[in-house]
Amino acid sequence: MSYVPKILIIDDEPRMCDSLRVLLSTYGYETQTSYNGKEAIECLARDRFDLVLLDIVMPDMSGHQIMDYINSQSFETLVIIMTGHASVDSAVESLRRGAYDYLRKPFDFEQLERRVKNALNQNKLKREYELINGKLELTEKRYQYLINASPDIIFTLNQEGKFTFLNGAVKSLLGYESGQLVGNHYTSIV
């Protein structure tokens, strides 16, 4: 079973929320709607969302305040701002607070769908990157354990033949601390 991205639509215009919910559901996304800031905060506290489509101007709370809440909770949720009150200052402030994208209402639904897809792809790539990094870190720890637990001396040399690394076996077998030999030519112990 494949992962279904979750999108929260926050707008004080119920028709806008419902239209976006229906549109995005046809693309296979799981959607929820919220018509005010308080309800949106409750949804965000209760569930994890990949993307939030957020109106800036609402009666009880601004979209920027909701973004501040998202940022304070360290949610890994991208935000696309949708506003009928677009201005350069508003766009700059939204992007400064971490918005992924900024749309001026009314907008074309194909344009919205492309931006949603781009945002979700960004999230997917970030999750895959973190997964790969986690696996790489685990592999590196296992490798270091094997190197350090080996009863044999394991070392690396640079191009001049000087030690750049020696494992702990050098102490038990030759009586040297590895730090004493790093930087010395290998012939110093032969």
Distance CA 54, CA 114 (A): 16
Residue 155 has pLDDT above 80, yes or no: yes
pLDDT attached to residue 89: 83
Q: How confident is the model at residue 1 (pLDDT cuts 50, 70, 90)?
A: low
pLDDT attached to residue 8: 95
User: What percent of the chain shows pLDDT beyond 70?
Assistant: 99
pLDDT attached to residue 172: 87
For 87-121, the pLDDT digits (tens) are: 788 888 888 888 999 888 888 888 899 999 999 99
Residue 50 has pLDDT above 90, yes or no: yes
- Kindly report the pTM of this predicted structure: 0.70
Residue 74 has pLDDT above 80, yes or no: no
Q: Which residues of 29-46 are buried (b: 16+ CB within 10 A; e: fewer)?
A: bebbbbbbbeebbebbee
Q: How confident is the model at residue 124 (pLDDT cuts 50, 70, 90)?
A: confident
For 8-46, the pLDDT digits (tens) are: 999 999 999 999 999 999 999 999 999 998 999 999 999
Residue 190 has pLDDT above 70, yes or no: yes
What strands, in cross-sheet order, belong to the sheet with 6-10?
30-34, 6-10, 51-55, 78-83, 101-104
